[in-house]
Structure 1
Amino acid sequence: MRTAYHEQLDALTNQLADMCRLAGLAMERATQSLLQADLVLAEQVITDHDQISTASARAEEAAFVLLALQAPVAGDLRAIVSSIQIVADVERMGALALHVAKISRRRHPQHALPEEVNGYFAEMGRVAVELGNSAREVLLSRDPEKARRIREEDDAMDDLHRHLFTVLMDREWKHGVAAAVDVTLLGRFYERFADHAVEISRRVIFQVTGRLPEEEEIPTC
C-alpha cells in the first residue's frame, strides 16, 4: 500500500513539473508575441491556458485525495501540503504569461512596446523561461542546492526590472501615458513570474529539509 502511495506522490510531482514546462512555454510564446506583435502566438497562449488550468485542477485533486485517504505524517505530509501550494504558484505563472499575451493582442497590429525597451523584455523573457525550467528541474530532482541557486537567477530579473524603471522615469520618454502603463504592467508580470519560481524552490527545500528558507513574504498575486 505504501508503494502505491509513493507512486501516486511521484505522479503528482511529475504533474507539477509538467505544469512548470507549460508555464515556461506560455511565457516564451507570450514574449515572442509581445516583441513581434504576433497575434497568432498571442491567441495560442490564450487558448492553451486551458491546459494549465485543467492540469492545476487535476493536480490539486490528486493532492487532496492523498491527504484525505493516506493520512500522511512528517515528510510525506510536508510533501503533499507543499505540492498544493506549488499548484497555486505554477497556476499563477501561467496566468501571468496569459496577461502578457492579452496585452499583445489588445495592442495588435501595433507593438505594445516602444523600441527602446524591447531589449529589456527580450532578456526578461529569457530569464523567465530559464526560471520556469529551473523550477521544473528542482521539482524532479528535489535538490536543495539547485533550489537555492534559483534565487540567484531571480536577482537578474530584479536587476532588469529596476533598470526598466530608469527608462520610464527618463525625461526623454516620449511615448505617452498608455505605453508607460503597459510597460509598467508588463514588467511587473515578468517579475512576479520569477518570484513564483523562487517560491517553488523554497517549497521544495521545505519538502526535503523541513525548514523554509528565510526570504520575502510568499507572493499573493
Structure 2
Amino acid sequence: MRIDIITVLPELLKSPFEASILKRAIEKGIVEVHMHNLRDYTNLSYNQIDDYQFGGGAGMVMMIEPIDKCISALKEEREYDEVIYMTPDGETLNQKIANGMSLLNNVIILCGHYKGVDQRVRDMFVTREISIGDYVLSGGELGAAVLCDTIIRLIPGVLNNETSALTDSFQDDLLAPPVYTRPAEYKGMKVPEILLSGNFPKIEKWREDQAYDRTKKLRPDLLKD
C-alpha cells in the first residue's frame, strides 16, 4: 500500500512513522508513506496557501489551486483508490472502515487547516471524508496519523501475529475480553482459573461471554442490532 499525505505541517506527522509498528511496516516494504508539503505547490509570496473567505467571517480557507496542483501531480504518476479529506464533518472512523481501507493499494489523505478547504476541492477531488470524532483539531495531521495506524496494522505481515488484529475490540462489534499475564496472583488478585485450565474450548467460550458482558456494560450501543 502507498499512502500520500498532503499537509502544511509535515514535521508534525513524522514521529508516528518513525517508531514502533508503523516504522517496521515501512522498513519491511509493506507500506510506503509519503508526505507532501502543500506550500511547495504555490507561487504566491510567503508560500501562501490560504486566503480570506468570500462573504466575510472569521477564519482563513485553504485555496484550491495549490491542492489541485499537488493532487494532479500525484495522479499523473499512479491511480488512486481514494482521495480522503480529514474533516470533523466526515463519516466517523470505525473498525469496519479501517478493515475496508486496509485492502486498498494507493490512497491520498488531505489534511485540512483553518476553516477547511475551498468547497470546490471537496467537489472535484475528494472521494471520501473521514472524521476521528466529534471534536475539532487544529489540523488534519493528527487525524491522518490515527487513520494510517488503524489501516496499516491490519495489512498482512505488519503485526508479528496476524490473528491478533482479528481479536481486537470492534472487529465483531464487541469489546475485547479482559486479558492477563504473569504472575497468576498479585497482591491477592488472582487470574481467573479458567485461563489456567488448558481447556481451550472453555477458555474461548469464557472470552466470548466476557466480551459480550463488557460490551453490554460499557458500550450497549454496539449491541443495538
- Say whether the fold is shared (TM-score over 0.5): no
The structure, 1 or 2, with the larger RCO (C-alpha pairs under 8 Å, 6+ apart) is: 1
State the TM-score, normalized to the length of structure 1. 0.26
Structure with higher helix content: 1
